[in-house]
Amino acid sequence: MKLLEALQTSLRAAKVPGQVAAKIIALAEDVLARYKISDDRELFGLPDWNLWLVLIKSLLSTLTKTLKKEGFCHANAYVIGALITLDERAASMIREWVKTRCKAGIDPCCKNPPCCNIA
């Protein structure tokens, strides 16, 4: 699945240690299994609301919180950058999510561009 490959590549590029990367991939696999999504076509073929629920609410929100908690906030920019390349409709949702979080001031990474320049 390209989504998992993109996550793995982005975590390697961000130099996230293996045990943390494995935790992130396991979380992603759990989300996909919960929604019974087995390939990219199924994921990116979902209606807008369902795609937002899976990709933003369940996957990206969880992954970014976990990376911050583990001390690898900088990896969020890599993960988001990788996911944006997979699908234009998903990219639009991700950009809007980031913009909303940063404008609301609820994401500490938005205040530290070298750490998480995702806006």
Please enumerate in sequence order all residues whose Cβ is within 8 A of that of 34, keeping only pairs 6 or more positions apart, or say none: 58
Q: What is the gyration radius of the CA atoms in the chain, in angstroms?
A: 13
Task: Report the predicted TM-score, pTM, of the whole model to 2 decimal places.
Answer: 0.87
Instruction: Give the Cβ contact number of residue 74 at 10 Å.
Output: 18
What are 103-119's pLDDT values in tens digits? 777 666 666 654 554 54
The Cα 92–Cα 90 span in angstroms is 5
Per the structure, the count of domains in the chain is 1
Query: What proportion of the chain, given as a percentage, has pLDDT over 70?
Result: 87
Q: How would DSSP label each residue in 9-21?
A: HHHHHTT--HHHH
What's 106's DSSP letter? -
Containing domain of residue 36, as a range?
2-116
